[in-house]
């Protein structure tokens, strides 16, 4: 943030914000990795297997771990994927001006 000299009783402030600054320094830094099974990043790890006997308002759900997450990955492949198109994986800059009078 830099305030410029006052002119006719008005002050101008210029500010530059950098989001994900580490990615600005190095393209491999500041990136989010997601577990993959297919082309979609949002994978459900738990699957509903059913619920216990009795009335629905007192029964409890049973869950199973989706083994496709473990078996869908080959031994040499990385279980993580980078999506370079998401805004959180890229740096962003914002330039703003503020006039005070």
pLDDT, tens digit, 9 for 90 and up, residues 71-93: 655 555 565 666 666 777 788 99
Indicate the DSSP class of residue 7.
B
Confidence check: pLDDT of 9 > 60: yes
Asked if 43 and 89 touch (Cβ cutoff 8 Å), the reply is no
**Helix/strand/coil for 98:** strand
Walk across the sheet containing 11-19 and list its strands: 2-3, 11-19, 92-100
pTM: 0.48
What is the average per-residue pLDDT within 42-69?
A: 80
Longest dimension (CA), the chain: 79
* pLDDT digit string, tens, across residues 34-54: 665 555 556 667 778 888 888
């Amino acid at each position: 943030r830099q305030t410029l000299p006052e002119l006719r009783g008005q002050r101008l402030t210029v500010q530059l914000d950098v989001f994900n600054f580490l990615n600005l320094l190095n393209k491999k830094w500041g990136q989010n990795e997601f577990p993959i099974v297919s082309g979609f990043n949002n994978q459900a790890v738990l699957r509903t297997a059913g619920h216990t006997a009795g009335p629905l308002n007192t029964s409890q759900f049973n869950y199973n771990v989706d083994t496709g997450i473990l078996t869908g990955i080959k031994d040499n492949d990385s279980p993580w994927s980078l999506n370079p198109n998401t805004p959180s994986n890229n740096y962003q800059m914002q330039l703003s001006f503020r006039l005070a009078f």
